[in-house]
């Protein structure tokens, strides 16, 4: 085969033509023969199965039936004409319906002749099948075909331009016939033989034209493995390179700031998990490589203190540090907390936010550049180009999933070498996902809560139980506790959501009247100053109830609050519910989370609520979330690009992912530069992949 043939523009394939080529390009990104070959089916239909009309069920997906048309007529309806044929087999009858192409169908369809029809059925006073695929039984039996029919990704535009699934299959057949396509093997022989993989060529052929269930399964395994293997190879190589090439600032000193804080000012004993993580961090920053570490720890696990102690190490070594948070509320809280913790240490800490005045900024810029500012805390504002450091050695990013990759990389350029980076997240990322997404980050986990925390009791209550819930709130307030009451705010239904919030506030205000009770309300439409004022009243304990939208989700710390009521809980995602629940249970008192819903619940909502009631473990919750939503939806993974997988699925193919990672590490341990003879093919493929950015584009 001419190796360049796969680069042929798709327009040249017989049966494609300019109009279809255009829509293939715009809808599926298919420009060349090669791209078409790597359009993998989403699923397969078992065409060995035939249905009888009396076996049809209302839930049937696509079915295949043998029968005859006994009459055909045009029916005029309000919304236009349609062609209706009566189709029978020896068990019953149904209708075939066409909304387009009437003339052609009338002229070509044969009455009383056996056909094989295929399509989706609908039920309305009997079964019907719109726009069936049809083939004369006689022809059908003559044609050689595979038993499993591939179903390719499709869009409405594609089918409107005549690029139906059937058309794609025809194109694929044409392509394989025209090019006699063969692929060199893209995996090293020892891997292929150890894992008993089928060859690349066989895999590609069988993914489109499966000869049997068994070969299809092997083809899928082989292609999924390969896809995940090269991603892991890339991630691990990046990590090795970073460790070798990117010089970091070695923080070799453990000096007076760190020691004096540790000995005299630490307000509590560190948990073992916190100690372990600090050790891991010290190992990183003490070496000459740059640290790039993800710190995962459930809400309330005490990540802040770990961050602060790392910053003290930076200062001990003559460097500056910055801490970036996603919201003004959270940045503010970090600022106050860290000021308090370091008040006896004589270090200069400042806060920079979008709302900082010109005067404040001028001072901050000056102190940053002359080196007298030790710790800068802030929001996105710290990323601005105007913000220049004298000697930034460490950047900490809190609640990382709210920041984009691009923003993170801005921090890298704030010194002549990139500073050490510590990313802290309270949304536990399941290991599987972390492995694929952050394969080039090191991961630390705080898997232990500070002592004395009682686990939060979570219950699910219906709106009809509201009286009891209010009584419970009254009892807790009597004991001196405070209550959160959170309403959803979804952008699409913002106006309605604000109405819910206000209605809710009024009903609470009626049941808990002033002056005995005081209520705070906080939402996104308030001016920042008003918001801060209301928040402050609650923090100080002047109000007993805080009615709010999800603005309080991140970070807010009021240890005396013991009840979290989440209204319309069915509308929240799992990770959000877990974050919200984390606002209580911060003091020594027993805390509660009450999930309020209506009676109508989807099965996903039920699963989410049951999961919340069952467990407090963030990792457990994250796994369920991943299963419910799929990886694409989770915390900004869309932008990572890593998850643009063609065939593998990080959740379902978890085991293959682990195997792929194992082999990638094994190969690189033995041969980090891929220069051994046996790894030549890996090296070549890897280079091609780097060149084309897409692992499927290198094959020829
Ligand atoms: P998160 O990991 O959610 O950011 P924080 O750092 O805000 O958690 O810590 C939550 C609370 O627990 C804070 O009030 C903090 O002072 C406290 N805390 C942290 N570590 C410990 C510890 N080892 N012992 C007792 N309390 C701790
Ligand atoms: Mg935190």
Residues 67-105 pLDDT 10s: 999 999 988 876 678 899 999 999 999 999 998 878 888
pLDDT of residue 363 exceeding 90 = yes
Compute, in angstroms, the gap from residue 409 CA to the centroid of ligand 2.
21
Establish whether residue 302 lines the binding site of ligand 1, counting it when its CB lies within 6 angstroms of any ligand atom.
yes
pLDDT computed for residue 623 by the predictor = 81
CA angle 660, 636, 612 (to 5 degrees): 90
Residues above pLDDT 90, as percent of the chain: 49
CB-based burial label for 344 (10 Å; 0-12, 13-18, 19+): exposed
Distance, in Å, from the CA atom of 646 to the CA atom of 39, rounded to the nearest integer, reads 8
* Residue ranges matching CATH 3.40.50.300 in the chain: 256-446, 457-615
Q: Which atom of ligand 1 is nearest to the CA of 269?
A: 23
Give the ligand with the smallest distance to the CA of 340.
1
Q: How confident is the model at residue 205 (pLDDT cuts 50, 70, 90)?
A: very high
Instruction: Note whether 312 and 256 are within 8 A (CB).
Output: no
pLDDT of residue 644 exceeding 60 = yes
Residues 579-602 pLDDT 10s: 889 889 887 789 999 999 999 898
Q: Which atom of ligand 1 is nearest to the CA of 559?
A: 14
Please, what is the end-to-end C-alpha distance for the chain in angstroms? 10
Mean pLDDT of 696-700: 33
Question: At the top level of CATH, which class does the domain 48-145 belong to?
Answer: mainly beta
Instruction: Note whether 557 and 550 are within 8 A (CB).
Output: no
Q: What is the mean pLDDT of the chain?
A: 86
Mean pLDDT of 17-23: 91
Establish whether residue 304 lines the binding site of ligand 1, counting it when its CB lies within 6 angstroms of any ligand atom.
yes
Question: To test the ligand 1 pocket, which listed residue (450, 452, 456, 589) has its Cβ within 8 A of the most ligand atoms?
Answer: 450
Compute, in angstroms, the gap from residue 333 CA to the centroid of ligand 2.
10
Compute, in angstroms, the gap from residue 399 CA to the centroid of ligand 2.
7
In this structure, what token pair is assigned to residue 200? 């690349």
Q: How confident is the model at residue 553 (pLDDT cuts 50, 70, 90)?
A: low
Which residues, other chains included, contact 357 with Cβ-Cβ below 8 Å and sequence gap of 6+? none
Mean pLDDT of 265-294: 92
Q: How confident is the model at residue 648 (pLDDT cuts 50, 70, 90)?
A: confident
Q: How confident is the model at residue 212 (pLDDT cuts 50, 70, 90)?
A: confident
pLDDT computed for residue 60 by the predictor = 64
pLDDT of residue 652 exceeding 80 = no
Compute, in angstroms, the gap from residue 398 CA to the centroid of ligand 2.
7
Compute, in angstroms, the gap from residue 690 CA to the centroid of ligand 2.
37
Distances (CA, A) of 307 to 281, 293, 312, 443, 507: 10, 12, 9, 14, 42
Establish whether residue 296 lines the binding site of ligand 1, counting it when its CB lies within 6 angstroms of any ligand atom.
no
The kind and range of the H/E element at 293 are strand 292-297
**Per-residue H/E/C for 433-457:** HHHHHCCCCEEEEECCCCCCCCCCE
CA-nearest of 242, 625, 307 to 442 is 242
Compute, in angstroms, the gap from residue 302 CA to the centroid of ligand 1.
3
**Per-residue H/E/C for 379-397:** CHHHHCCCCCCCCEEEEEE
Which residues, other chains included, contact 101 with Cβ-Cβ below 8 Å and sequence gap of 6+? none
pLDDT computed for residue 612 by the predictor = 96
- CATH code linked to domain 457-615: 3.40.50.300
Which residues, other chains included, contact 599 with Cβ-Cβ below 8 Å and sequence gap of 6+? 462, 463, 464
pLDDT of residue 698 exceeding 80 = no
Give the ligand with the smallest distance to the CA of 578.
1
CATH superfamily of 256-446: P-loop containing nucleotide triphosphate hydrolases (3.40.50.300)
Q: Where are the beta strands (DSSP E) in 535-632?
A: 545-548, 561-566, 592-597
DSSP-based helix, strand, coil % in the chain, nearest 5: 45, 20, 35
* Residue ranges matching CATH 2.40.50.140 in the chain: 48-145
pLDDT of residue 58 exceeding 80 = no
Establish whether residue 270 lines the binding site of ligand 1, counting it when its CB lies within 6 angstroms of any ligand atom.
yes
pLDDT computed for residue 691 by the predictor = 63
Which residues are registered as beta bridge partners of 519?
545
Look at ligand 1, atom 25, and give the residue with the nearest C-alpha. Answer: 450
pLDDT computed for residue 440 by the predictor = 65
Compute, in angstroms, the gap from residue 406 CA to the centroid of ligand 2.
22
- Please give the residue that has the higher pLDDT: either 552 or 288: 288
For residue 459, report the phi and psi dihedrals to the nearest 5 degrees. Answer: -130, 160
pLDDT of residue 661 exceeding 50 = yes
pLDDT computed for residue 357 by the predictor = 95
CA-nearest of 424, 313, 326 to 374 is 313
Chain centroid offset of residue 293 CA: 20
pLDDT of residue 2 exceeding 70 = no
In this structure, what token pair is assigned to residue 462? 């219906």
Q: What is the DSSP string of 647-659?
A: S--TTTTHHHHHH
CA-nearest of 437, 552, 542, 393 to 486 is 552
Q: Which of 267-281, 346-360, 525-539, 616-630 has the lowest mean pLDDT?
A: 616-630
Taking the CA atoms of 493, 496, 499 and 500 in sequence, report the sign of the dihedral they define.
negative
In this structure, what token pair is assigned to residue 61? 């997906």
Look at ligand 1, atom 20, and give the residue with the nearest C-alpha. Answer: 302
Compute, in angstroms, the gap from residue 338 CA to the centroid of ligand 1.
12
pLDDT of residue 396 exceeding 90 = yes
Residues 412-462 pLDDT 10s: 788 888 899 998 987 766 666 666 666 667 889 998 888 877 789 999 999
Distance, in Å, from the CA atom of 281 to the CA atom of 283, rounded to the nearest integer, reads 5
């Amino acid at each position: 085969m001419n190796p360049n043939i796969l680069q042929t523009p798709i327009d040249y394939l017989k049966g494609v033509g300019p109009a279809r080529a255009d829509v293939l390009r715009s809808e599926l990104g298919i420009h060349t023969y090669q791209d078409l070959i790597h359009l993998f089916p989403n699923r397969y239909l078992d065409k060995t199965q035939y249905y009888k009309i009396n076996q049809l069920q209302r839930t049937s997906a696509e079915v295949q039936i043998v029968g005859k048309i006994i009459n055909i007529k045009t029916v005029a309806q309000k919304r236009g004409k349609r062609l209706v044929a009566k189709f029978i087999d020896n068990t019953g009858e149904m209708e075939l319906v066409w909304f387009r192409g009437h003339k052609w169908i009338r002229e070509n369809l044969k009455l009383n002749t056996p056909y094989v029809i295929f399509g989706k059925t609908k039920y309305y006073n009997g079964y019907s099948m719109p726009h069936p695929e049809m083939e004369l039984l006689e022809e059908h039996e003559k044609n050689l075909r595979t038993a499993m029919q591939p179903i390719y990704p499709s869009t409405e535009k594609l089918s409107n331009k005549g690029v139906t699934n059937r058309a794609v299959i025809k194109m694929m057949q044409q392509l394989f016939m025209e090019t006699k396509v063969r692929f060199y093997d893209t995996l090293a022989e020892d891997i292929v033989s150890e894992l008993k993989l089928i060859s690349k060529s066989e895999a590609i052929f069988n993914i489109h034209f499966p000869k049997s269930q068994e070969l299809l399964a092997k083809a899928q395994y082989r292609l999924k493995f390969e896809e995940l293997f090269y991603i892991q190879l890339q991630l691990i190589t990046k990590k090795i390179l970073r460790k070798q090439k990117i010089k970091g600032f070695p923080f070799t000193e453990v000096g007076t700031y760190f020691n004096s804080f540790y000995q005299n000012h630490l307000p509590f004993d560190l948990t073992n998990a916190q100690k372990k993580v600090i050790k891991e961090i010290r190992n990183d920053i003490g070496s000459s490589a740059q640290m790039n570490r993800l710190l995962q720890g459930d809400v309330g696990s005490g990540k802040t203190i770990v961050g602060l102690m790392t910053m003290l190490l930076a200062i001990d070594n003559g460097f500056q540090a910055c801490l970036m948070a996603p919201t003004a509320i959270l940045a503010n809280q970090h600022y106050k907390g860290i000021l308090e913790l370091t008040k006896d240490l004589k270090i200069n800490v400042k806060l920079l936010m979008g709302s900082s005045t010109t005067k404040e900024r001028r001072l901050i810029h000056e102190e940053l550049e002359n080196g007298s500012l030790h710790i800068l805390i802030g929001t996105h504002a710290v990323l601005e180009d105007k913000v220049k450091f004298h000697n930034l050695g460490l950047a900490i990013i809190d609640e990382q999933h709210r920041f984009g990759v691009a923003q993170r990389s801005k921090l890298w350029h704030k010194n002549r070498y990139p500073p050490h980076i510590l990313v802290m997240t309270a949304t536990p990322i399941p290991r599987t996902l972390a492995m694929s997404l952050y394969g080039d980050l090191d991961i630390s986990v705080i898997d232990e809560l500070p002592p004395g925390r009682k686990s939060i009791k979570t219950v699910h209550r219906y709106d009809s139980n509201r009286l009891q819930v209010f009584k419970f709130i009254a009892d807790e307030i009597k004991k001196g506790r405070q209550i959160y009451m959170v309403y959803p705010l979804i952008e699409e239904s913002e106006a309605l959501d604000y109405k819910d919030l206000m209605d809710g506030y009024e009903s609470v205000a009626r049941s808990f009247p002033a002056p005995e009770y005081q209520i705070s309300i906080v939402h996104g439409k308030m001016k920042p100053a008003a918001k801060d004022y209301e928040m402050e009243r609650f923090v100080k304990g002047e109000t007993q109830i805080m009615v709010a939208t999800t603005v309080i989700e991140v970070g807010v710390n009021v240890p005396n609050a013991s009840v979290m009521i989440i209204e319309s809980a069915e509308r929240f995602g799992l990770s959000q519910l877990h974050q919200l629940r984390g606002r209580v249970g911060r003091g020594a008192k027993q805390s509660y989370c009450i999930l309020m819903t209506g009676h109508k619940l989807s099965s996903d909502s039920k699963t989410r609520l049951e999961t919340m009631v069952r467990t407090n473990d963030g990792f457990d919750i994250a796994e369920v979330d991943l299963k419910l939503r799929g990886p694409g939806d989770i915390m900004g993974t869309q932008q990572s690009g890593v998850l643009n997988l063609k065939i593998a699925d990080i959740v379902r193919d978890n085991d293959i992912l682990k195997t792929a990672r194992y082999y990638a590490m094994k190969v690189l341990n033995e041969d980090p530069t891929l220069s051994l003879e046996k790894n030549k093919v890996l090296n070549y493929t890897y280079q091609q992949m780097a060149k084309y950015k897409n692992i499927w584009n290198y094959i020829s």
